[in-house]
A and B are shown apart, each in its own frame.
Chain A
Amino acid sequence: MSKNMKSILFKNKFLVVTLIIIMLTSTACEDELTEINENPNEITNLDYGIQLTNILLSTTEGGYEMFRASLGYCFASIQQLADLESPVSGVFLPGDKYLNDPLFAASLFDEVYTREHKNLADFLHRTKDDEEAVNYHAMGRIWRVMSAHRITDIYGDVPYFNSGKGYIDNNWFPAYDAQEEIYADMLNELEGAVLQLDPNKKNPGTNDIIYNGDLDKWKKLAYSLMLRLGMRLTKVDNGAAEVWVKKAISGGVMTSNDDIAKIIHEIGASRNPFFNGFETRDQVRLSATFVDWMINMNDPRLDMISYVESGGPHKGLPNGYDYETIQDYPGGNDLTTYSNYNPELRKWESPSFRQTYAEVELLLAEAAVYSWHGGDAAEHYEKGVRAAINQFGLFGVELPSDSAIDDYLNNNPFDPAKGLEMIGEQYWAATILVSWEGYSNWRRTGFPVLTPTNYPGNVTNGQILRRLTYSGTEYSLNAENVNAANNRQGPDDFMTRVWWDKE
């Protein structure tokens, strides 16, 4: 260093020191930088109850998959709904004509994991080891079964054990689990969760938007779900079905419409998915199969479910027609003369059902037929039908009088010779409000007996489809695992049967 420079630095000691201090301070504030990176818009630790509300709420189907997979495929293929659209005009209900619309078919798969399983996995992970949070954890386990059984019922083998764990375990490409293993685990989970419920531990209260913290009702829900899932096994493993159905009954299932697991929707906030699904698709009508079934038995539900815009008589739209071919059908292509799904049942704020009491009674009737319990099949059948009719009261529509319901039951008495068929048909009608369940039960029982359509270009060779197809993106992102599932289960098409749907 030159003398000159030294003297300069010396003369300006103050400046140089200041400079050095500034430099040092600006490099030594890692803590400050970390502080800046604290997100003020979000929180790092969320109250369990707040997340529980979110989990319960989000397991209402969104409008996206409700319209596509539920209405579009399930409801239409079991002939509860119909439409006249064709590949030329733009398909609305591909299930009406057994057409291939990969995005519609995969819509549930595409939505449910990100919307439901992400938070379920996180919630269960966080509450697992917290002894005070056993009720939260148990409700989470029950609700995870509620979410998961729909997916496996619709697609068969699906990611289950590792679903939603992208952050927790960094598992970005979960394996597909065999449906047999999924069912075994779901039933075990229900059993285990009920044992966890403890009135002496913290209760979520109002955050439990299903039962307001009523643990007994949660118990009934868990056993009712166990009944639903146990009964699902009748074709594939009748012995296991009997074991689980008996466990469910002895545990205590739902006993009235007060026990229904439902979401009460709120105007301006969460929407009833039927409202979402129907809102912009005015072309969808009730199927002639369904409407005729009600007409033939003089069903008191007809006036509640069916609404004809033109004011004419109730008349369903036959499945498998388009705007051209319908012209020869009485009524032609004027959609206003066909029965629509009553708008009163699909308002923004209409409740949506996850598990109903009517289903429980009808399954008990079926179990009675198998003599799995001492009850009377006819009695459970009647209770089921009555509950299925009266549950419309929750929508604010005018209910038929008790005598009208009595007349209906008297005119269509339970006939043990046709017991399973009658139960199956009533289950079909009762689950018009529970989207996936009717389709699954139809596949298991084969009731009601439906005549398939055979529209040109259908992909099932004129048969009602047995499952929906996986998401196309899985083949690019998770190919190894989805292909392993196909090797185990069968080709990824609409006619491959899921494990419990044994021929």
Chain B
Amino acid sequence: MKKTLTILLFFALFSHVWAQERKLSGKVTDENGEGLPGVNVLLKGTKIGSVTDIEGNYQIVVSGESNTIVFSFIGYQTGEVEIGSFSVLNHVMKEDVTSLSEVVVTALGIEREKEALGFSVTELEGKGFTQARETNVANGLAGKVAGVNVSNIASGPAGSSRVIIRGNTSLTQNNQPLYIVDGVPIDNSNLGAAGQWGGRDQGDGIGSINPDDIETMTVLKGNTAAALYGFRASNGVILITTKSGKSKKGLNLEINSNYVFDKAINRLDIQKEYGHGSKGQKPKTLEEALGAGDIAWGGKLDGSSVIQFDGVERPYAYAGDNFDKFYQTGHTFTNTIALSGGSEDMGFRFSASKLDNEGIIPGNKYKRNNFSLNANGKVGKKLTFNASGSYIVQETKNPPAQGDLVSNVNYTVWSLAPSINVEDLKGDPNRLGANPDGTELLPATTIWFENPYYSAYQKKNESERNRVLGSFSLQYDFTEWLYVKGRIGVDHWDRRNMDLRPYGSAQSPLGYINQSQTKHNEINNDIMLGSQQEFSSGFGYNVLIGASSMRQNRYSNSTNGRDFAIADFPHYSNTTNRTGGTSLWELGTNSVYGLTEVSYKSYLYLTATGRQDWFSTLNGKGIFYPSASMSAVISEMVKMPTSFTYLKLRTAWAQVGGATNPYALNQTYSLGQPHYGVAQGGVAQSVVANAQLKPLTATEFEIGFDARFLDNRVGIDFAVYSRKTEDDILDASISTTSGYNAAKVNVGKVTNKGVELLFTATPILKSKFSWDISLNMSHNKSEVVSLLDPEVADERLFVDQNRAQTANVEHIEGLPYGQVTGWIYLRDAAGNIVHNDAGLPMRDEEAGLVPFGAGVHPFFGGITNSFNFGPINMSFLIDYKSGAVIFSGTNSWLYRRGIHKNTLVGREEGIGVLPGSEMSTYYNEIRNKIAEQFIYDADFAKLRELTIGYNLPKSILDKLKIASARFSIVGRNLLLLHSNVENIDPESTYNEGNAQGMDYFQTPQSRSYGFNLNLKF
């Protein structure tokens, strides 16, 4: 094949030789030094040209007509080079960061010209996610795309992502985008999260994807961009196209190896002057030591010998940093091997990947194996197919427990008195965290102050998920301008989970084992008929009609066994109390849709789309979703100043929807546990069912421009949008005397208005050195316009409460989405805190829960600087967010325990009428009643990514018989450049839900650094 092509090229070139004078040859490579096939090589101003061969080599015969040669290729910046007297001219093609390609994959996998799009779309290359990588690829979006707000959830490597595009649309429902892999929607549901009463983040759907398999990730930000997804479009869409073998010829082998260390970032700055004990006294007896095992209200650390929880006397002195002692250096090792190849008509790529992670918390492990196969090709002249499939196995062990104290190792490690060494809690070396008799070794009397080693090593929470993602599409081209395309896609996964509390644990002395299994299936079918033509008059059209169906079901069963009969036999058969259950839910949607685009002379495009969805969840009721957009390439219409390379204006409007859950329309009955064998049951719902329910509607208008200057050296992409969400489905709280806690209603109105700016520049562009800047900035201003009753002002809607129970997240009319609210101090006219007769600070009961600000940052962005020095390149990303607040339950609890530095005040001299010995009462009162003290501005800036790469020069590569080799040093979350939060990271997010701005002993963020090695053969 290769030979044939070379010969063809040779002949093609040869035909010109007779008429021309001089031969020019050379090699065109990409920035990695790899030969680029298919590059157009043209003698400027002539029709003389050539194309590079498989190795990137070209030959061209130059005449005296021109002295400039132009290299152009989709996705790369066009390069012009003076020929001079060279006979060999090599050229490095620089990738075009602003427009990777002229053709963009849009909704439903429809490829459209970038010019034609009247809305904002951002396309990212897969390689941006593979260097300084995240285990959950969605987290790799942080700071990279204007309008996309990524929360770095503090829940370990197997944790979920929270990606919010252009603000939160729904008050209480899911706000995360729809993910599409190779044209097929994938399930991104969260499989368990920490909440006010604890829990573990069991990961989400996007976390299954191997970043090494991603060719491009396209963010369809606005509702118009996503409009063809109808009911699934309200939160935006992220399209992932996996790598295929199409552009490669012959067999190519690629190996990528990535190894990083993860180090917990210690932000704790605790008091180190007073030890365990109470009332300012050192404990004298074992009882006193145990009674005060969880508080540091003891005496001043003086080095004397004082009894501890285990009856051992140790020096009453700072025992060292428990944080550093407890957390371990985690590591993540990811290896991917990919084989790709193909011929003119076929292409394939197979990859296998293994990710092996050990967390910073002992016992926390995560493994992911991905196997992907992608094949595409032509059958005959008119039929093309594309098939992709992956099989993914994910295993998680002990994802961090957080949100509440149960099994939360951070809680105990951070709260231990400075006089206690966490390592003294290790107990039995053969059973860490346990007493010799096997029971949990507690550092205090209370069972609610657990042993972190016991939680890490003896309790087990394990899951395994097997997933198959598949997509197959066929396209038949009747003519050049008419085609029919069909696609079927499947997402199937099954997962089992086991949660074990061993016999002997303090809170469940007899232990329990809970197991569950869940199977999820989604099948999507699409068929579409499309036609596209351009006429000599300058007019063109692109029309498409299609239909699709979606069917989803999820089955789960659980078996819960309590009270082991025999110690150390953690099996269901060994339990003496057993319960279980099964559940199945199904939903389906049928849809028809269409798109019409009319264009004139490739500079004016008008597009309209419509989609009608019929829902099973609404008993077959249907809803129509329209959109319209316009794109005008001004720089093609009128003559612009020469510095203006390109200017496009765009505007769009769309109305899309959100999904609803099955079985919400009617009241039903469920059966409970029988009473002595007699069946019993009652009304299943605690929320009043509503037969009139409909999905929420999001209406968005956007306008923007894309301008490039100085031969694309400077670019500005700007968008303004305004989105309004109405008829949200809410569980509106009602009086419990109605028998129900809430009623399902269509109410509420939320607006999100924002601006997005992407600025790109190449300040230096030399053959030996170049510098690129990409800056994105976003501002999203949200407002909860109305909640339940449009007539009633100042309504509030409870979203979640912090475990500390002094602060909530609420939606409040007239304020931005998701306010962190909390109790404040009672102050006198001069602003001084008022104390009661007992000398305790009082809270302002009248003020109630006061809103402090949104938990979601309205301002965010990032700046990437990339430098190329020949074979070495370096890039780093700094991202920032501002304008939000966080309530730290951690700090409130550190008050209670006398660990927080602020609690040093008054220990000797007392405060007001309270003597020093009563400081625990004083600070407890603050912790119990006041949130104000613990609400911080959550602004931050971080050095998020750093990559320094080196491409081995060709001379060495040739000796090693390697096509390319790149070695990089990578780092993530390297520096926290700005923060005003005490003791915790400003990104200590609770979970991926809508209650952002809540912290309670979250897993610390970790700093990752290591290397990436990429070899191509």
B479 contacts across to A, CB distance below 8 A: 4, 8
Please, what's the 1-or-0 string for A335-355, where 1 marks a CB less than 8 Å from any CB in chain B? 000000000000000000000
Chain B stretch 472-504: residues in CB contact (< 8 A) with chain A? 476, 478-479, 482, 484
Chain A stretch 36-54: residues in CB contact (< 8 A) with chain B? 36-37, 39-47, 50-51, 53-54
Q: Is the CB of B615 within 8 A of A33?
A: yes
A158 contacts across to B, CB distance below 8 A: 737
B675 contacts across to A, CB distance below 8 A: 53, 57, 209, 266, 269-270
Q: Is the CB of B616 within 8 A of A36?
A: yes
B529 contacts across to A, CB distance below 8 A: 19
Q: Is the CB of B668 within 8 A of A113?
A: no
Chain B stretch 661-685: residues in CB contact (< 8 A) with chain A? 662-663, 665-676, 678-685
Cα(A470)–Cα(B601), bound, Å: 72
Please, what's the 1-or-0 string for A264-288, where 1 marks a CB less than 8 Å from any CB in chain B? 1010111000000000000000000
- B689 located at the interface, meaning its Cβ lies under 8 Å from any Cβ of chain A in the complex: yes
Q: Is the CB of B547 within 8 A of A26?
A: yes
B921 contacts across to A, CB distance below 8 A: 88
Please, what's the 1-or-0 string for A149-184, where 1 marks a CB less than 8 Å from any CB in chain B? 000000000110001111100111110000000000
- A55 located at the interface, meaning its Cβ lies under 8 Å from any Cβ of chain B in the complex: yes
B923 → chain A, closest Cβ, in Å? 12
Cα(A41)–Cα(B662), bound, Å: 12
B392 → chain A, closest Cβ, in Å? 28
- A471 located at the interface, meaning its Cβ lies under 8 Å from any Cβ of chain B in the complex: yes
A108 → chain B, closest Cβ, in Å? 11
Q: Is the CB of B666 within 8 A of A54?
A: no
Q: Is the CB of A209 within 8 A of B678?
A: yes
B671 contacts across to A, CB distance below 8 A: 50
- Residue in contact with B738 in the complex, picked from A35, A164, A471, A473, CB distance below 8 Å: A164
A173 contacts across to B, CB distance below 8 A: 734-735, 738
B590 contacts across to A, CB distance below 8 A: 26-27, 29, 33
B483 → chain A, closest Cβ, in Å? 11
Q: Is the CB of B739 within 8 A of A164?
A: yes
Cα(A165)–Cα(B688), bound, Å: 10
Cα(A42)–Cα(B675), bound, Å: 19
- Residue in contact with A113 in the complex, picked from B478, B685, B688, B736, CB distance below 8 Å: B736
A269 contacts across to B, CB distance below 8 A: 673-676
Q: A5-B482, A22-B527 are in contact. Are A207 and B616 (CB under 8 A)?
A: no
CB-CB nearest in chain A for B666: A44
- A421 located at the interface, meaning its Cβ lies under 8 Å from any Cβ of chain B in the complex: no
CB-CB nearest in chain B for A55: B682
Q: Is the CB of A30 within 8 A of B734?
A: no
- B588 located at the interface, meaning its Cβ lies under 8 Å from any Cβ of chain A in the complex: yes
B668 contacts across to A, CB distance below 8 A: 39, 42-44
- A121 located at the interface, meaning its Cβ lies under 8 Å from any Cβ of chain B in the complex: yes
Q: Which of B267-275, B579-587, B989-997 contacts A (4 or more CB under 8 A)?
A: B579-587
- A118 located at the interface, meaning its Cβ lies under 8 Å from any Cβ of chain B in the complex: yes
- B242 located at the interface, meaning its Cβ lies under 8 Å from any Cβ of chain A in the complex: no
A51 contacts across to B, CB distance below 8 A: 669, 680-682
Cα(A33)–Cα(B740), bound, Å: 28
Q: Is the CB of A172 within 8 A of B735?
A: yes
- A206 located at the interface, meaning its Cβ lies under 8 Å from any Cβ of chain B in the complex: yes
A5 contacts across to B, CB distance below 8 A: 482, 531
Q: Is the CB of B617 within 8 A of A37?
A: yes
- B620 located at the interface, meaning its Cβ lies under 8 Å from any Cβ of chain A in the complex: yes
- B875 located at the interface, meaning its Cβ lies under 8 Å from any Cβ of chain A in the complex: no
- A80 located at the interface, meaning its Cβ lies under 8 Å from any Cβ of chain B in the complex: no
- Residue in contact with A53 in the complex, picked from B619, B679, B741, CB distance below 8 Å: B679
Cα(A405)–Cα(B733), bound, Å: 54
Please, what's the 1-or-0 string for A1-31, where 1 marks a CB less than 8 Å from any CB in chain B? 0001100100110010001001100110111
- A119 located at the interface, meaning its Cβ lies under 8 Å from any Cβ of chain B in the complex: yes
- Residue in contact with B734 in the complex, picked from A29, A43, A122, A166, CB distance below 8 Å: A166
- B614 located at the interface, meaning its Cβ lies under 8 Å from any Cβ of chain A in the complex: yes
Cα(A22)–Cα(B528), bound, Å: 11
Cα(A93)–Cα(B1009), bound, Å: 55
A53 contacts across to B, CB distance below 8 A: 675, 678-680
Q: Is the CB of A110 within 8 A of B688?
A: no
Q: Is the CB of B663 within 8 A of A39?
A: yes
- B770 located at the interface, meaning its Cβ lies under 8 Å from any Cβ of chain A in the complex: no
Most buried by A among B479, B545, B682: B682
- A450 located at the interface, meaning its Cβ lies under 8 Å from any Cβ of chain B in the complex: no
CB-CB nearest in chain B for A24: B547
CB-CB nearest in chain A for B589: A33
Interface of B, secondary structure class, is strand
Q: A26-B548, A42-B663 are in contact. Are A34 and B619 (CB under 8 A)?
A: yes
- Residue in contact with B739 in the complex, picked from A39, A50, A121, CB distance below 8 Å: A121
B806 → chain A, closest Cβ, in Å? 14
Cα(A476)–Cα(B586), bound, Å: 37
Q: Is the CB of A473 within 8 A of B736?
A: yes
Q: Is the CB of B739 within 8 A of A113?
A: yes
Q: Is the CB of A12 within 8 A of B478?
A: yes
Q: Is the CB of A118 within 8 A of B682?
A: yes
Q: Is the CB of B592 within 8 A of A23?
A: yes
- B304 located at the interface, meaning its Cβ lies under 8 Å from any Cβ of chain A in the complex: no
A8 contacts across to B, CB distance below 8 A: 478-479, 482
Q: Is the CB of B484 within 8 A of A268?
A: no
- Residue in contact with A114 in the complex, picked from B531, B549, B586, B740, CB distance below 8 Å: B740
- B729 located at the interface, meaning its Cβ lies under 8 Å from any Cβ of chain A in the complex: no
B20 contacts across to A, CB distance below 8 A: none
Cα(A114)–Cα(B740), bound, Å: 5
- B686 located at the interface, meaning its Cβ lies under 8 Å from any Cβ of chain A in the complex: yes
A469 → chain B, closest Cβ, in Å? 15
CB-CB nearest in chain A for B577: A268
- Residue in contact with B736 in the complex, picked from A15, A29, A45, A110, CB distance below 8 Å: A110
Q: Is the CB of A26 within 8 A of B682?
A: no
Cα(A173)–Cα(B612), bound, Å: 37
Cα(A114)–Cα(B583), bound, Å: 23
Q: Is the CB of A113 within 8 A of B738?
A: yes
- Residue in contact with A42 in the complex, picked from B484, B549, B684, B736, CB distance below 8 Å: B684
- A380 located at the interface, meaning its Cβ lies under 8 Å from any Cβ of chain B in the complex: no
- B809 located at the interface, meaning its Cβ lies under 8 Å from any Cβ of chain A in the complex: no
- B743 located at the interface, meaning its Cβ lies under 8 Å from any Cβ of chain A in the complex: yes
Chain B stretch 620-668: residues in CB contact (< 8 A) with chain A? 620, 662-663, 665-668
Q: Is the CB of A43 within 8 A of B669?
A: yes
Cα(A114)–Cα(B682), bound, Å: 11
B686 contacts across to A, CB distance below 8 A: 114
CB-CB nearest in chain B for A270: B675
- A474 located at the interface, meaning its Cβ lies under 8 Å from any Cβ of chain B in the complex: yes
Please, what's the 1-or-0 string for B585-615, where 1 marks a CB less than 8 Å from any CB in chain A? 1111111100000000000000000001011
Q: Is the CB of A166 within 8 A of B482?
A: no
Q: Is the CB of A42 within 8 A of B669?
A: yes
- A477 located at the interface, meaning its Cβ lies under 8 Å from any Cβ of chain B in the complex: yes
- A234 located at the interface, meaning its Cβ lies under 8 Å from any Cβ of chain B in the complex: no
A270 contacts across to B, CB distance below 8 A: 673, 675
CB-CB nearest in chain A for B482: A8
Chain A stretch 455-503: residues in CB contact (< 8 A) with chain B? 471, 473-474, 476-478, 481
6 A-B pairs with the lowest CB-CB distances in the bound complex, closest first:
A118-B739, A166-B738, A30-B620, A164-B739, A42-B668, A53-B680
- With A30-B620, A477-B735 given, can you name 11 additional A-B contacts, CB distance below 8 Å? A11-B478, A26-B592, A27-B612, A29-B620, A31-B620, A36-B588, A51-B680, A109-B736, A117-B737, A167-B685, A170-B688
19 contacts between A and B (CB under 8 A): A4-B479, A27-B592, A30-B620, A33-B615, A41-B582, A41-B583, A50-B671, A53-B680, A55-B682, A57-B675, A117-B737, A119-B682, A122-B682, A171-B738, A174-B737, A207-B680, A270-B675, A474-B735, A481-B735
Interface residues of A (CB under 8 A from B): 4-5, 8, 11-12, 15, 19, 22-23, 26-27, 29-37, 39-47, 50-51, 53-55, 57-58, 88, 109-110, 113-114, 117-119, 121-122, 158-159, 163-167, 170-174, 206-207, 209, 264, 266, 268-270, 471, 473-474, 476-478, 481
Interface residues of B (CB under 8 A from A): 476, 478-479, 482, 484, 527, 529, 531, 545, 547-549, 551, 577, 582-592, 612, 614-620, 662-663, 665-676, 678-686, 688-689, 733-741, 743, 796, 921, 924
